[in-house]
Structures are given as structure tokens and as C-alpha cells.
Structure 1
Amino acid sequence: MERNLRGAVAALFAGVLIASCSSGPSEGGDIKLTIGLFGDFGYRKLYAQYEKEHPGIDVVERVTAFDDHHTSLAAHLATGRGANDVEAIETGYIGLFKANPGKFVNFLDYGVGAERTWWLPWKWDQSLSKDGKSQIGLGTDVGGLAMCYRTDLFKKAGLPTDRKAVSALWPDWNAYFKAGERYTAHAPAGTRWFDGGATVFDAIIGQAHTGYYAASGTLVVKTNPAVRQAWDAVTHAIENGQSAGLTPLTNDWNNGFAQSRFATIPCPAWMTAFIQSQAKSSAGKWDVATVPGGSGNWGGSFLTVPKQGNHTDEAVKLARWLTAPEQQKALFKENGNLPSQPALYKDPAVTGLVKPFFNDAPVGQIFADSALKLKPQPQGPKSGQIMVAFTNGLARVEEGNESPEAAWNSVIADIEHGDR
């Protein structure tokens, strides 16, 4: 994946341009707008509403896997053809694409600057070009963190099950891994403390004031003690048998929910809908507590409009509508995608939301509080690729193919090679 993405990015910055046509009229004469996503954003009901309110517009969704989506987008931008009218970009990749804002429509040209106060200031800045003159993306959700856990497995292992008591169980990550030792000593057969090292590692990194990049834009993976400390803590827990060894966004990981293979998982708001879909037989057995450290971010996305499309004006209207406050609120209520607009964190429709699947947990209040405590972290052009490198490295540790130290060195080498 990394090799393909680097090649596509190299072409992108070489500025190869070929005339393209990403969309056109549908058979009925309507304007067809394609929207490229990675995974389910929960937009399908909204498309129907938009088409009803905008006669003559036909919205077509195209979904591909996370890595494939971003690799393909880079290639389409490089060649000037093939991009969808609206393209989603995940937080870890927005720094890469905004470095070449000329490939995208500038939302500031459409008056979106007057609406910038809708969004969290750091969310707005994440997709703003370095010179502040081009806004390439409109924020969808943010990945405010909590901790989802299985009350039935906790009870069998002799741990508290009440969400307040569980939150108190792990004020920080050291306490979380200590609780994991208690769980492991009495774990129900076939279960582990957490799903996989990559999920916990990403959650810890997402809380750090500085992650992979310094505020200056300098890559600091190797020299940032927070990164190495997170690595050591997670690999130590893996070696102590706390991990189920599942890699996020794989079929095995999906099956892990249904098979009850782990008791806890750091969960951003968007994951609650995913858990519901994968673990249907466990309804009412899940609950939601505060994440160690109190807050954090994992994920979140932006909608962009590549310039190469034939209907950029219509695409901008669609992107603005999908990211407007009313639609963000509707998506949270329906799918759990936490809005990136802070005014909604005080809206009773958000703060009052509870989910029966999660034992009637007040998810609205939990995730809104997490988002308000969240401190933005600098992102760089290769944040997404670095995340993948660490995911692969942790998988090698869990599979027994490399020791933690050897895997660390391999990850650093992969990152440094990719930076050349």
C-alpha cells in the first residue's frame, strides 16, 4: 500500500494533468454527482432527502477500502481523471492533500469562510492551506474517544460493571493495563482484554500533545518520547497476553466483535454504529465509559471537491449541505458520527442521546464531553502512512514474527524510507 501511495503522490506533485470527466448526466437527464467514501458515512438517507430538495440531482455513492481510497484519489488527482465529484479524506491524510491545494476547489471562493465558526477551530485549520488562502475540505465528524466494554465479561472476571466505577478503574493508561492484568488472570475462556495493539496504540497517540509531527511540521516519530512510550506500553501488554491480536478494519477484527473475543476497545463515536452492526447478539451487554486520560481523537474526515469534475458548483453545494449543522446532528443521532461543530455539543438532541444497545449509555454526553476536552495535535503529510506502518509493526509483534525492539526498528526504517 505505501509503495503504491508514494508513487501516486510523486505523480501528483509532478503535476501531470489530463482532461477528465468524473461525472455527467444520468440516463434520465439529471446531473449525476458521485461521492467517493471509505466505509459507511451514514449518508444514504440524506441523499434521498437532498435529491428531493434539489430536483435534477442524482447522487451516486462509491465506497472503497480505506487505503485503496486514498491511494486511488492521489492517482486520480495526478492524472487529472477519475476522481469523484466529492471525495472524502481522512484526518491522517488531509495534510498530504492540502499540500497541493490547486487540485481542489477552494471553498473560500464560495463564501464558506463566513461559516468557519461552525467548526472547531482546529478542525477548520486542518484542511486549510499553509498560506491560509485555500480551504480544500469541509469537516464531517471528529473521532472523540471513549472506551467501549463488555459488562458481562467484566462481571465474569470480577471487575466492576457500572460505567462510573469502570471509568474510575483507569484514570490513565498505566491503570488501564493494570486492570488488564486483573482481567487476564480471571478472563472468560477465549477472551482477551483488548482487540489489538494498533487500536490501543492509536488511542494513546491520539491523546498526545505532539504525535508524529511537531507544530513546525518536522517529523519527530523517532525522537518524540511519547511515541516510544506508547509503543513500549502496548507491546508489553501484548507480551502479557492482553491482546486478541486483531488488526483494525480486517475481516478477522469484524468477526472478533461477534465472537466476543475481547472485553474492551477504545472507541471513537463513529465506532458505536460499527459495533452495533458487528455484534448484534451482544445488545445490552456493551457499555461506554470514559477513555483513560479523559479525551482524545481517532479519525474524523473532510469532504473535498476535486477541480477536475464537470459539475463542481453542484458538488460544492452537496458537500456544504452534507456538512451543515442539521445534517451533522442527524448523522450523530442515526449513526453516532460526532459532529465537528461545537454548538451542537450543547444541543439536547446530541447531549441527550442514549443508546439501548450500549446499556442505555448517555453516549451524547460522553462523546461531547470528550470532544470539548480534546486538544488538537499537529498533523503532517504522511500521518496516515505512519499510522499504517505502526499498525503493520504491531501486527508482526502479535504474530510472533518480530520482537518489540526489532519491530520498532523496522517501523522507523519504513517511515524514514518513505520520507525520502
Structure 2
Amino acid sequence: MAAARHPFAIHNFRAYWIARFAASLAQMAMVIVIGWQVYDIARETMSIKEAAFQLGLIGVAQFLPLLVLSLFSGWVADQIDRRWIARAAVALEAFCAISLAWLTYNQTVTLPALFAIAALLGVARAFAGPALGALAPNLVPKALLPTAIAMSALAWQTASVIGPAMGGYLYAANQWLPYAVSSGLFLLSLLMLLLISPVPRTVVTSTDSPWGQMIDGLRYVRRNRLVLGAISLDLFAVLLGGATAMLPVYARDILLVGADGLGHLRAAPALGAVAVGLFFSWRPLRTDVGRKMLLGVAIFGAATVVFGLSAPLLIGTMGPSAVGSDFAPAVLLALAALFVLGAADMVSVYIRQSLIQLYTPDEMRGRVGAVSTLFISGSNELGEAESGFLAALIGPIAAVVGGGLGAILVTMLWAKLFPELRRARTFDPPANLEIPPKEMTT
């Protein structure tokens, strides 16, 4: 039988790709809806700043399980069949989605319920991230590994920006609908994961204790400066530039476009990311990948600043007519900035995920993936928390603009601190990847 020439020619990878895309789509749809519900419920009895503070707390509720469990979940992903870890995590996510659909349908959803289910989703993601990330390279021949990793990253990132837009539109149609659709997507993901047949994997033996093996993931990231620079750049840039966390505030109280407008605002970065993703599927990046990643993060920060200033700048020159409708000038400027923001973020994520996977040995991918998941989630959930808390302190507009400027400064600083990023010309890893001491593969 002729060797497969594309990952989609392999049954296991097709099932994996659908599973990851469906689960990511559902996760991201739920994130934006949970944020909107928290803000909407809080605004019934709280001021804008107090409600924004609740948005910060919901980010903390999702991040804490990841912080506590990430090292353990990475070690588990290197010890146990990654398929079953992913299946269990997706099943838990399906339970959360079904619970929120039921509570919202019956109009009994409360802030405590939203916080509790957000924490459960954090537990599921702590295990799903390392398992799914480390599983992809086990499903294809080595020659197809770069393409498979890029396609896996493309599935996650595309879903991560389409999902919230989908959630916003579905919520505008009916409040329980996004949770019902997410439930179906999680169940589809679970079915696809069940269809993946057993796959070969690297077996690791070590004289270290389980705790010592967990620390190996951190050790590897610390010693591989290219991986460390790529992961930490995302952490600090997105931590500061978390404009999307303020979308409920902008939709309701700044741009005055309501729940329907929230869907449009969340669709804009989705369209930018999909446009870039489609371009990469036709013209993959091959040269100067490190410099292009740094440039992508800098543009991400600049677009965040433009989005943050869209309303005050145009209201100051045009008056109240600048906001309040889908085609108002400030709304159009905000949508354009968010489109560029999503496109730039896609460039950064595509390059970062490919570099991390290709520069990590298979026997370390679970633990390194856990560290990456922790950092990525830190940038997302903690970015939401930082934006919410900062908005409560200085106001949402100043928080968004300051965060965008911070992302630009971080990019400039990382270009100096990690010259390995500037020097990364291609995705080709070194012939022999360094593995931390005290590990042997058999």
C-alpha cells in the first residue's frame, strides 16, 4: 500500500481533527456566553466596574484548576493512553454544557452555578490540552508530522475564534441555544475520539518519582530557550492584550449594540483568523518564522489599542451618532481592528504551536504540552481576569488600551531577551533534541 501523502488520508487523524475542532468550537462558544451571562446578571444589581470585576473572577475560576492540575495532567498524558484521557475530559465538558443548557432553559442560572461550572470546565481542559496536543504526532508518519501539527493548530485556533462568534449569535437567538449546540459538539467529539484505534507511542522509563517526572516538563521548557521564548511571549502578550474579555462591556455599555452586536464583535477576529488560516493552507510559512511570529504579536497589540480607542475617538468628533448601531462609525472601526487582531493572533499561534511540537521529543510532549496549556490558559483566563480587574480600577477603555501597549512592549523586550526567536528561520527541528537528564526511552 502506498504511503499516505497527507494527514487527512489517515483515518485516525481525520477522526482526531474532527474531535479537536468540535470540542474547541464548543469550548470557545461557551466561554463567551458564560462571560456575557456573568456580566448581564451582575449588571442587574452592580455598577459597570463591579460587574467587570465579576468578569475577572470568572477568569480566575477557570484558571485555578489548570494551575493546580497542569503538571499532574501532563505526567498522566505521558503515562496513560492519551485517547482515554481525552475521552474522559470531553465527557466532562459535555456534562457542563448540558447542565448550563438545562439551567438557562429553565431560567434558574445563577452566578454561583456559572462559577462552579466554569471551574469544572477548567478541570476538563487541564487534562484535555496535554492529551490532545501530544496525541496528534502519534497518529501520522514522521514525514507528515509538520503538516499534521500545523493542521492541528489550525483546527484549534480557527475554532477558538469562530466558536465565540457562534456563541454570541446563538445566544442572541435564544439564551439556552449555545449550550445545547455545544453539548452536541462535545458528544460528536467524544464519538470521534472513540473511533481512534490504538496507536504506537514512546514508552518512558525513569528512576525519578512521579513528582520528579512532572518537573521534567518544566525543566525541558526552561532549558530549550526557543520553546520557552515562544510560550512565554504568548503568555505575557495576551495576558496584557486581552481585549476580547471586554467585549461584553463594549457591546452593552460603550458601543451600545447589545447581544446581537456582541456576536458581530466576536465574529470579526474569527474572520481575520480564518482568512489567515486559509492563506496558510495554500501558502504555508517556510522562512523567517520567528521574526514573523514577533511581528504578529506586535500587530496584535496595535490592533488592540485601536479597538480600545474606537469609541472615545469617534464619539469625541462625531457625537453620539458614532455608536448605537451595527453600521455606526465607531462600531465599524472596532470591527476592523478586531479583524486585524484575529489575523495577527492566527499568525502567532500557528508559528508558536508548530515550533513547540516540532522542538519537543514525543516522550516529553505530554508534560511540555501541559506547561504550554498552562501558559496559554494563563494568557487567556488570567488575561480576562487582568482585564476585568483593571477595568474595575481604571475603566474598560483605559484597560484595553493599556493592555495593547503592554503587548507591544513585551514583543520588543522578548525580541532582545530571546534572540533564538529572531533566528528561527524554518520549522525544521535539530537532528537530536535535548532530553532532560535521568530519562531513557525504550
Range class of TM-score, shorter chain? under 0.3
Compute the TM-score of the two structures, normalised by the length of structure 1.
0.23
More helix by share: 2
Which has the higher relative contact order, 1 or 2, with Cα contacts under 8 A spaced 6 or more apart?
2
Compute the TM-score of the two structures, normalised by the length of structure 2.
0.22
More strand by share: 1
